[in-house]
Amino acid sequence: MKWTLEVVNNRLKAGKIGVAVRQRGDRLSLRATLPPKPASNKEHWHQQDISLGIYANVAGLQAAEAEAKLLGGRIASGEFNWSQYLEGGDCKDKGYRVSSCGY
């Protein structure tokens, strides 16, 4: 299996996951249409990034693709909750930088 950002995003798109992996500097993040964060003044769902804080290498792309599928499933099933990605949630449990996962 090939592990480049383009190939990973093509697989996610083909699977209609609704989440993309993005590279910002040497780190990876997820981009999806999400509800406003709890302290936000916005009222409607909009495109937002969730920084994973993991490096843009083969292992990072593998982890990011798995996390994108998990996020897409949570969105599709109506089970998405920001607490899973803010301090104290799944983000911290997985070792991601908590400051990057939330605000």
Which pLDDT tens digit goes with each residue over 55-96? 999 999 999 999 999 999 999 999 999 999 887 555 545 555
pTM: 0.83
Residue (of 35, 31, 65, 36) closest to 48 by Cα position: 31
Higher per-residue confidence, 90 vs 21:
21
Sheet holding 27-34, edge to edge: 19-24, 27-34, 46-55
Give residue limits of the domains in the chain: 5-101
Pick the range with the lowest mean pLDDT from 3-12, 41-50, 54-63, 87-96: 87-96
* β-pairing verdict for 27-34 and 46-55: antiparallel
